[in-house]
Amino acid sequence: MEEFLRALAREFALIGPNSGSLDTVYLGGGTPSRLGPDGIARLLDLLRTRFEVQADAEVTLEANPEDVSAESLAGWRAAGVNRLSIGIQSFDDAVLAWMHRVHSGADARRAIELAREGGITNFSIDLIFALPGDIEREWRRDLDIALELEPPHISLYGLTIEQGTPLARWQTRGLLTAPEDEQYASEFLLADEMAVARGYSHYEVSNFALPGMESRHNSAYWTGASYIGVGPSAHSFDGETRRWNVSAYADWVRRLNTGESVRQGEERLSEGNRASERVYLGLRTISGLHASERDLEAATSWLSPGWARIDDGVVRLTPEGWLRLDSLAAGLTGF
């Protein structure tokens, strides 16, 4: 923790003093709850030396269920955290063991109870779907439990098997059967059906929220807002250029200790890039895409198969359309 916070302080110093006002803060992309209450307090104090955090800012902390306790919650709240993203993944102990998670389904439920008791009523839970059939996971049961607990926000992630990972090696050896597209689609649509029936808004491809509980931070990404990222692998965007840091923690620390830049690369968006991103980001939310006449004509073919709705020049994908988001977005120009 000490090494990480020292390095973080050096990166903050590179940003310069009085660098602006923040509407949202997100501590994640890893497991920052492992820093403990004191580490989170010190991290946010560092942040405030460079930025003004607005009084009503949404301050989210990613946390594993095993890190959620009455003591940690009190410390996080005192530091300014007012929203949690809890990495539950599943309430099935067999699934959690397969994923090498150290918490149990009971621990996950208790973390939700503790969050409420500790005064953090704005929280999200993560669930993963489309797991290999070999595991015999009951996705409907996980959804039933999650919805009975009534979290304000639910994020869903479909399993992807990346090259070079243990899952990819198991698949190559025949030790694991990757889920079929039909399973992915059916589990995604089941989640939509069950959550919407319980009053949740499916407001973005992977996200559901009770009324008024949408993530302000993530929603800002989808509107193309600017943001600053610090830490290993962190990305920043100023409206024109996207920049990213080196990904390896040890390299990030070494560079900051020796005065080297931690930036690994940058990309200045062309007009075409901006148009493509506007299309993709617009289609992934229920706000939809304010489409050009040319794109409206192309999107008309999506109506009969039930992939989209068009209202007053705005194209909104249905859950069936979201399953085809990449290919549908690629078919529009954005101009």
The pLDDT, as a whole number, for residue 334 is 66
Q: DSSP letter for 173, please.
A: T
Do the bridges between strand 263-268 and strand 289-290 make them parallel or antiparallel, or are there none, so unpaired? unpaired
Decide if 310 contacts 296 (C-beta within 8 A): yes
Output the CA–CA distances (angstroms, integers) from residue 191 to 156, 199, 237, 316, 328, in the order listed: 9, 12, 32, 19, 22
Determine the Cα–Cα distance for residues 290 and 279; give it in Å rounded to an integer: 9
Tell me: the pLDDT tens digits for 151-187? 999 999 998 878 888 877 877 887 777 778 899 999 9
**Nearest Cα residue to 238 out of 266, 215, 218, 258:** 266
Torsion-angle region of residue 73: left (phi > 0), alpha (psi -120 to 50) or beta?
A: alpha
> Coil, strand, or helix at residue 63?
strand
For residue range 46-58, list pLDDT tens digits in order.
999 999 999 999 9
In the predicted structure, residue 240 carries a pLDDT above the cut 80 = yes
Residue 141: pLDDT band (50, 70, 90) is very high
Beta strands in the chain (DSSP E): 21-27, 52-63, 83-89, 123-129, 153-158, 201-204, 207-209, 235-237, 241-245, 263-268, 289-290, 308-311, 314-317
Positive or negative, the Cα torsion across 137, 139, 141, 145? positive
- Beta-sheet pairing, 153-158 with 201-204: unpaired
C-alpha 41/C-alpha 163 separation (Å) is 37
* Radius of gyration, CA atoms only, the chain: 21
With beta carbons less than 8 A apart as the criterion, state whether 190 and 143 touch.
yes
Give the residue carrying structure tokens 């996200």.
Answer: 207
Residue 37, both tokens: 């209450």
Q: What are the pLDDT digits (tens) for 53-85? A: 999 999 999 999 999 999 999 999 999 999 999
Please state at what angle helix 105-117 crosses helix 139-149, rounded to 10 degrees.
20
pLDDT averaged over every residue in the chain: 94
Q: Please give the residue that has the higher pLDDT: either 333 or 316.
A: 316
Query: Which tens digits make up the pLDDT trace of 175-232?
Result: 777 778 899 999 999 999 999 999 999 999 999 999 999 999 999 999 989 999 999 9
Domain 20-222 has CATH 3.40.50.2000: no
Predicted local distance difference test score (pLDDT) of residue 174: 77
Residue ranges covered by each domain of the chain? 20-222, 271-330
Kindly state the average pLDDT of the residues 102-117. 97
C-alpha 76/C-alpha 25 separation (Å) is 13
- Residue owning tokens 């007053």: 312
